[in-house]
Amino acid sequence: MVNLQSNFTLAMLDKLQELISEVQAFSANSKEKVEAFRIKFLGSKGILKDLFTEFKNVEPSQKKEFGQTLNTLKTLAETKVSELNNHLENSTQSKKVYGDLTRPGEPIELGTRHPISIVKNQIIDVFSRIGFTISEGPEIEDDWHNFTALNLPEYHPARDMQDTFFVEKNPDMLLRTHTSSVQIRYMENNKPPIRTISPGRVFRNEDISARSHCIFHQVEGLYIDTDVSFADLKQTLIYFTKEMFGKSKIRLRPSYFPFTEPSAEVDIYWGLKTETDYRITKGTGWLEIMGCGMVDPNVLKNTNIDPEKYSGFAFGMGIERIAMLLYQIPDIRMLFENDVRFLEQFKSVI
């Protein structure tokens, strides 16, 4: 009886080795063949199921060897099925990607930043290097922050300088006409020293043409501290024009803004080297880029800042105008039409 059992075990061990060799040599080029292989070895009525059933008939002294060999066969079969399925899955995906003749011949192209965003980020970067922080505020503003606190009381004639979009049924609310309203909010909530710039979108009820639009973007700056002078303002502007345009020759022309006194328009000397220079400067070589001035004491009082102790300067520029100068854009409407042919020209600009 013992010899018969021993012979049975030896025969089963030989069979296991043959099955191991079969598993190792197996290959398939379809999922159907892999599934048939899995059912044959690992299915509920498969070879391994029968072998585990026969385990009870193995001679006790050889159960360990038989069990280890049986587990080796099972592991090899499971690994083989997994590897073949992964290989076939990856091959199918590759075929879908590279074998699809309906796919476009060229890869999908990446977009680019809008020129307004590019210029805005450049301006922010220039002023951040000298300590200016960024402040933002609501686009729907009240009369106090947009006009009154900026030294423009009700019925002040200077209000006519800005044609305003008012909110229907609430004449005290409007679409902000400048980002100076953000500066008022900042001064109300922060004590000097204050050094901030306020980029954002503004709205004015103007006819749309090649040089003007009812929607545009501004960056306004504000610096308030003790002993701030007009000389500080001039040096800040020289720094900005040199960093932004590579030109440091500027001039300040007397002007009028209700919230600054004295006030000035800032021109940079663009030069007359090319025909384009003559055209955009009208033969003068000078280009107006922004307005500026010393903060009016009444504005400081309206935001609870002592004008006897503090002084400051403010400046503001249109982002569209700067973009049109830098990239020689002839029509402001091109910045709002989202024409892909126009925007593609800025792919190389960060």
Tens digits of residue pLDDT in 319-345: 999 998 888 888 899 999 888 888 888
Backbone angles phi, psi at 190, to 5 degrees: -140, 145
> Does the pLDDT of residue 1 top 50, yes or no?
no
The answer to which of 6-20, 173-187, 244-258, 268-282 has the lowest mean pLDDT is 6-20
What pLDDT sits at residue 208?
Answer: 86
Instruction: Give me the residues paired with residue 198 across strands.
Output: 220
> Does the pLDDT of residue 94 top 60, yes or no?
no
What pLDDT sits at residue 98?
Answer: 58
Top-confidence residue, 297 or 11 = 297
The answer to which of 80-94, 138-152, 194-208 has the lowest mean pLDDT is 80-94
> Does the pLDDT of residue 194 top 60, yes or no?
yes
Q: What is the mean pLDDT of residues 266-284?
A: 87
The answer to which of 4-8, 9-13, 61-65 has the lowest mean pLDDT is 4-8
* Calpha distance 288→306 (Å, rounded): 33
Pairing of the two strands 215-225 and 194-203: antiparallel
Q: Which tokens is 116 given?
A: 């307004």
What pLDDT sits at residue 263?
Answer: 96
Pairing of the two strands 133-134 and 194-203: parallel
What pLDDT sits at residue 99?
Answer: 61
Q: Which tokens is 330 given?
A: 């002839």
* Calpha distance 92→140 (Å, rounded): 55
The answer to which of 3-12, 217-226, 314-323, 324-333 has the lowest mean pLDDT is 3-12
> Does the pLDDT of residue 130 top 70, yes or no?
yes
Q: What is the mean pLDDT of residues 208-231?
A: 92
Beta-carbon neighbour count of residue 162 at 10 Å? 18
* Calpha distance 127→224 (Å, rounded): 15
What pLDDT sits at residue 97?
Answer: 55
* Calpha distance 125→112 (Å, rounded): 19
Architecture of the CATH domain 115-346: 2-Layer Sandwich (3.30)
The overall average pLDDT reported for the chain is 86
Beta-carbon neighbour count of residue 108 at 10 Å? 6
Beta-carbon neighbour count of residue 86 at 10 Å? 10
Q: Which tokens is 138 given?
A: 């609501």
What pLDDT sits at residue 4?
Answer: 57
Percent of the chain with pLDDT over 70: 91
Rounded to two decimals, what is the model's pTM?
Answer: 0.67
Top-confidence residue, 54 or 198 = 198
> Does the pLDDT of residue 13 top 80, yes or no?
no
> Does the pLDDT of residue 71 top 60, yes or no?
yes
Q: How confident is the model at residue 26 (pLDDT cuts 50, 70, 90)?
A: confident
> Does the pLDDT of residue 253 top 90, yes or no?
yes
Q: Which tokens is 224 given?
A: 């308030």
Q: 233 near 220, Cβ under 8 Å? A: no
Beta-carbon neighbour count of residue 199 at 10 Å? 20
HEC string for the chain: CHHHHHHHHHHHHHHHHHHHHHHHHCCCCCHHHHHHHHHHHHCCCCHHHHHHHHHHHCCHHHHHHHHHHHHHHHHHHHHHHHHHHHHHHHHHHHHHHHCCCCCCCCCCCCCCCCHHHHHHHHHHHHHHCCCCEECCCCCEEEHHHHCHHHCCCCCCHHHHHCCCCEECCEEEEEECCCCHHHHHHHHHHCCCCEEEEEEEEEECCCCCCCCCCCEEEEEEEEEEECCCCHHHHHHHHHHHHHHHHCCCCEEEEEEEECCEEEEEEEEEECCCCCHHHHHHCCCCCEEEEEEEEEECHHHHHHCCCCCCCCEEEEEEEEHHHHHHHHHCCCCHHHHCCCCHHHHHHHCCCC
Distances (CA, A) of 56 to 59, 142, 304: 8, 90, 95
